[in-house]
Amino acid sequence: MPPPSTEKEVRGFLGRLNYISRFISQLTATCEPIFKLLRKNQTVVWNQECQNAFEKIRQYLQNPPILAPPVLGRPLIMYLTVLDGAMGCVLGQHDETGKKEHAIYYLSKKFTDVETRYTMLERTCCALAWAAHRLRQYMLCHTTYLISKMDPIKYIFEKPALTGRIARWQVMLSEYDITYVTQKAIKGSALADYLANQPVDDYKSMQCEFPDESIMVLSEEYDDGKWTLLFDGASNIMGHGIGVVLISPKKKFIPITARLCFDCTNNMAEYEACAMGVLAALESKAKVLEVYGDSALVINQLNQEWETRDKKLIPYFTYIKELSLEFDKITFHHVPREDNQLADALATLSSMFQINRNDEIPSIKMESRDYPAYCHVMEEETDGKPWYHDIKHYLINREYPPGISENEKRTLRRLSASFFVNENILYKRNHDMVLLRCVDVNEAKEILRTGPQT
């Protein structure tokens, strides 16, 4: 295929590439020199940069990558690279061994003139929202690990004041299960060449937080001897806390919480919570234990899918592995944070609660209310007359209370329009034509005590 030489041939070449863009990594950035030929008042001169881009695309098409369809039950991996004027995305997935990745879809986009003026973090958010919309049919059914220069999820969902576009991105991304992870946390990557094609001078990973989609529900099997453990740790400006919920085979919930009175990282708090829960299960004579947590780092390290390199976490890993030998069977699973709310609440509460060792800590009773508090409040009759006295007096005698103003008279007439008196009993017409009987405080208390009479 010869290189294009006229503007018409350039447009035709780029148009044909657009049909197969999902198969070509970083197409937009690669074709940037060719795109420049289509600018207004630009002479079409096929220079060396255009020829290099053309040769790169031709070589890529001669050795096309093999794309694989996604498999349900396995999380997706999204590599997102954002430059000043363009973005690129690769959607991949691990195979059954968990060691090799297959590409599923390639995406690339050139930012508009307005989008190029966004900050780097805002461009990353914009690129993620656009890619998620294009890949919606894949991402709705899977958890997606996002690998990028920075964490747009935290920026979008934790920003205290939302602007118009941030709010739109938040709404667009709220239906997906996306978790930001770092490149160094991946043991092996078959798509490393993707990131190598788009070097960023200050590119570095930001944080290590992985979820896993190995399960969709807690369990579909019943085992009478199986115990379940939910754990979570919390670290904030108020302190550090851990929460555990131990569930017996008879579905008895045992909440356990503790405040950590020493400095630790969030991952250390997660390990502390897991260790406390496993130890509590041993003390309860459990032999079969399923452990669930929303920290993918802890879960995958305990499953030995990820290597534990942090010197602060290695002692925790070793300790829990030694405790695991006491069980006949113990498994570790990752769950989304919304499925771990009770343990998360216990951990957050314990991290914020300042314990006074000189005072006894009372138990906390939590009740459920179906109606607002004001629904149970009855006004007191300060003058000995019921609340409807003036309305009833006006309807019967057509007389106003003494000493009221003209404005109060108009208000009384307007209120009285929806009431009527029958056999000296005042009724109110409801909007659906149901008649409501008006009662005083004594009658209301009697009704609450005995129930309404039909």
Q: How is 10-24 classified by DSSP, letter by letter? A: HHHHHHHHHHTGGGS
In 248-370 the beta strands, taken as DSSP E runs, fall at 253-260, 288-293, 329-334
Asked, for residue 361, whether it belongs to a domain, the answer is: no
- Alpha-carbon torsion, ordered 265, 269, 274, 278, to 10 deg: 120
Residue 292 has a pLDDT of 92
231 and 348 share one domain: yes
pLDDT at residue 216, as a whole number: 40
Is the pLDDT assigned to residue 249 strictly greater than 50? yes
Worst-scoring range by mean pLDDT, 170-179, 268-277, 285-294?
Answer: 170-179
Question: Are residues 53 and 83 located together in one domain of the fold?
Answer: no
Which among 181, 196, 211 is the end of a domain?
A: 196
* 357 assigned to some structural domain: no
Report long-range pairs for 203-207 (Cβ below 8 Å, ≥24 apart): 203/149, 204/149, 206/149, 206/150, 206/151, 206/180, 206/182, 207/151, 207/180, 207/182
Asked if residue 82 lies in contact with residue 123, where contact means CB atoms within 8 angstroms, the answer is yes
Least confident of 122-136, 271-285, 287-301, 359-373: 359-373
Q: How many Å separate Cα 192 from the centre of its chain? A: 28
pLDDT of residue 264: 83
Q: State the average pLDDT for the chain.
A: 77
% of the chain exceeding 90 in pLDDT: 7
Q: Out of 50-59, 140-149, 183-192, which region has the weakest mean confidence (pLDDT)?
A: 183-192
In total, how many domains does the chain have?
Answer: 4
Q: Tell me which amino acid residue 147 is.
A: I
Does the pLDDT of residue 234 top 60, yes or no?
yes
Q: Are residues 111 and 158 in the same domain?
A: yes
Is pLDDT larger for residue 385 or for residue 188? 385
Domain of 92, in residue numbers: 76-196
Q: Residue 12 in contact with residue 4, Cβ under 8 Å?
A: yes
Token duo for residue 196 = 């190598």
Predicted local confidence at residue 181, as pLDDT: 80
Percent of the chain at pLDDT above 70? 78
Q: Find tokens 């003036």 and name the residue.
A: 390
Indicate whether 325 and 412 sit together in one domain: no
CA distances from residue 37 to 2, 6, 31, 46, 50 in whole angstroms, order as listed: 17, 10, 10, 8, 9
